[in-house]
Amino acid sequence: MSDAGRVLALAGTELRLVLRNKTVAVSSIVVPLAVGVFWAFSFGASTQPGMTAMAVALQLSIVLAMGIYVTATQTVVGRRHNRVLKRLRTSGISDTGLLVATVAPAVVIGLVQLGIFGIIHAVIGSPWPVDPFPLVLALLGGLALVVTAALATTVVTPSPERSQITTLPLTFLLLAAAAALAVVPSQGWWQALVAVPGAPIGRLTQLAYEGGTWAAGPVGLPALLPAVAALLVWPVVFGYLAARRFRWDPRH
């Protein structure tokens, strides 16, 4: 079997394990779905693009934070704690492939949830984005952010139980920052908050629904660029920390 085949097989096994774990299934699937559906009907049914932008930003952030970030952290820490990761390193799968297979189920679940939210918005008649490009960037950048953050968080997480604590700060920060930047004025000092992790997701969602992607922003640059720059920086920072400090052996 090729390395790609081994990675896919392991990812499938990990997905089944995640779905069988009732605690993880509730926190990563049921809660984000329930809250996201509530936001869709509370804000997304409005004909105002700004309200839909806030709903979509909240849905993106809760899926990225709870559905992917927390789940990926718990999964990697759990497999490391049980020495599964260490044993699998002798299976012929590369280290990168092993990590990809371990976090892939969380990403797949998150993408399915976002697809469900998209269908709901279409059914209830939510306004469509006037420029989908920033929304695509928010999704791709958000995925890079939470996956690298999950690997970095495992450095300070000794056990699966502790992951419920170590993931809380970034989870709340992602939710609050994304929601805030989706509704604050597009001009003024508020835009300095775009440097906070998660805030670019809200800003890009706002641009997608309200327009102005290429309008002049701070210092004459297109409004899109500060958010994209911030969204690129944080995955690099978290990825660097993970590459330098990640451990395959259990932490005590």
The pTM score is 0.91
- The answer to whether 208 and 173 have CB atoms below 8 angstroms apart is no
Question: Mean pLDDT across the stretch 183-192?
Answer: 66
- On the CB side of 108, CA atoms within 13 Å amount to 14
**Secondary structure of residue 188 in the 3-state scheme:** coil
Which whole-number Å values give the CA distances from 215 to 25, 194, 225, in the listed order? Answer: 42, 17, 10
pLDDT, residue 133, reads 93
- Count Cβ neighbours within 10 Å for each residue of 40-57 and write b for 16 or more, e otherwise: beebbebeebebbbbbbb
pLDDT per position as a tens digit, 143-164: 999 999 999 999 999 988 898 8
Whether residue 22 is predicted with pLDDT greater than 90 in this model: the reply is: no
Confidence of residue 218 (pLDDT cuts 50, 70, 90): low
Q: What pLDDT is recorded for position 172?
A: 93
Number of domains in the chain: 1
Average pLDDT over residues 199-219: 81
Place of tokens 């720059």: 229
pLDDT at 167: 94
* Domain extent at residue 133: 3-245
Q: What is the pLDDT of residues 93-137, one digit of tens each?
A: 888 888 999 999 999 999 999 999 999 999 988 889 999 999 999
3-state secondary structure of 43: helix
How sure is the predictor about 241, in pLDDT bands with cuts at 50, 70 and 90? very high
Domain annotation covers residue 169: yes
Task: Decide if pLDDT at 221 tops 70.
Answer: no
Confidence band of 84 (pLDDT split at 50, 70, 90): confident
- Residue written as tokens 């700004």? 50
Residue 56's closest CA among 132, 133, 118? 118
**Helix residue spans in 84-129 (DSSP H):** 84-88, 95-124
* Residue where the block lists tokens 């997701």: 201
Assigned domain for 233 exists:
yes
Q: What's the mean pLDDT in 42-66?
A: 86
Q: Is residue 226 in some structural domain? A: yes
Q: Please tell me the distance from the alpha carbon of residue 166 to that of residue 161, in angstroms, as a whole number.
A: 10
Helix H or strand E segment including 168? helix 168-181
By mean pLDDT, which of 30-39, 84-93, 170-179, 218-227 is the weakest? 218-227
Residue 252 is assigned to a structural domain of this protein: no
Confidence of residue 216 (pLDDT cuts 50, 70, 90): low
